[in-house]
Structure 1
Amino acid sequence: MTIRLRPLRDDDLDQLFRWERDPDAVAMAAFTREDPTDRAAFDAHYRRVRADPENHLLVIEQGAQLVGAVSTFTIEQEREVSYWIDPARWGRGIASAALALLLERERQRPLFARAAAHNPASAAVLLRNGFVLVGSETSWAAGVGREIVEHVYRLD
């Protein structure tokens, strides 16, 4: 499988919105916008993310197909990574490969990542890329409408 990363373009947003409102994907991610079907909130989020030069938001392509997105950003002085894959392509190693490519570009360490405890596939992506579990916390997750356990991972 050959994938590559490239900067997000405006014409990618419609596809990202479709994935980010998919009910199964929202449930697995858990920590999403309050209403994943709200396009105005989606657009406002991406305007804010793209306006911050510290954020790196890249899309994942397999061949000529857009298959996901990966990003780095800073929250509360901690550098974090995140990824979102087309739900129709889950389980094919795309997230693991894309995160590996992102980690070649993002040299800041430590890096943190978070995964809902009920999402072992996301945990596996992080572990394959050298992250280690460093803690857990219970937080409100809009995607599932309740508090859930979120695992915190670190890469040094």
Structure 2
Amino acid sequence: MISLREVLDSDLPVFWGHLSDPEAQHVAAVTRKYHYDREHFDSHWARIRSNPDVLMRTVLAGDEVVGHAAVYGPPDEREVTYWIDRKHWGRGIATAALTALVDLVSVRPLRAHSAADNTGSIRVLEKCGFVITGQGRGFGQARGGEIDEVLLTLS
């Protein structure tokens, strides 16, 4: 059973393990300093956990912490993001978690960005009702250069 709950302090070391996985970083492509440096990670999480405009949830498979999902941004530009531990990919966890997350938020549209070649993430977003509404280029830090990206929107 997949569920969401508030983020606990004890989740953070687990999240660090998920986010610092080089293979998962490569697939996600667009990473930030907090994916590579524990001090930045701790600072980032302290900031977002204290921000009332961020809806952040821990993703559980049974009792196991398997990832996190969030909605953030100004009311007219809300975005979703999620990260599931690589060893749990392909099991429907991301789709179940994202479905539960968007059910918690009444604001529409919601947006998401993905590397254009991250077919798994795009498929998850589409299963949750998102449609591709734009394309662009962005810097994929995990890949050391610019990548093609897609913008997806849930109306």
Q: Does the Cα contact within 8 Å between 1:34 and 1:143 map onto a contact in 2?
A: no
| 1:138-149 matched pairs, under 5 angstroms | 138-149=137-148
Aligned partner of 2:2: which letter? I
**Match of 1:71?**
70
Number of equivalences: 155
Q: 2: distance between equivalents of 1:103 and 1:33?
A: 24
1:111 aligns with 2:110: yes
Q: Offset at 1:68?
A: 1.0
Instruction: Please give the per-residue CA displacement for 1:51-99, whole angstroms capped at 9, x wherever unaligned.
Output: 2101011011111111111100006951000110011010000000111
Q: 2: distance between equivalents of 1:47 and 1:15?
A: 15
Which structure has greater helix proportion? 2
Q: SS of 1:32's equivalent?
A: coil
Q: 2: distance between equivalents of 1:97 and 1:15?
A: 20
Q: 2: distance between equivalents of 1:67 and 1:114?
A: 21
Aligned partner of 2:10: which letter? D
1:10 aligns with 2:6: no
Identity of aligned residues (%): 39
Q: SS of 2:53's equivalent?
A: coil
What stretches of structure 1 move > 2 A for 4+ residues in a row? 34-37
**Match of 1:45?**
44
Q: Does the Cα contact within 8 Å between 2:34 and 2:41 map onto a contact in 1?
A: no
Q: Offset at 1:36?
A: 2.5
Q: Does the Cα contact within 8 Å between 1:57 and 1:70 map onto a contact in 2?
A: yes
**Match of 1:29?**
28
Aligned partner of 1:150: which letter? E
Instruction: Please give the per-residue CA displacement for 1:99-135, whole angstroms capped at 9, x wherever unaligned.
Output: 1101110111000001101200000001001101000
Q: 2: distance between equivalents of 1:114 and 1:75?
A: 16
Q: SS of 1:52's equivalent?
A: coil
| 1:113-132 matched pairs, under 5 angstroms | 113-132=112-131
Specify every segment of 5 or more residues in structure 1 that has no aligned partner in the other structure, as ranges.
none
Per the alignment, do residues 108 and 76 of structure 1 end up closer, same or farther by CA in structure 2, a change over 3 Å counting? closer
Specify every segment of 5 or more residues in structure 2 that has no aligned partner in the other structure, as ranges.
none
Q: Offset at 1:153?
A: 0.3
Aligned partner of 2:145: which letter? R
Q: Does the Cα contact within 8 Å between 2:56 and 2:70 map onto a contact in 1?
A: yes
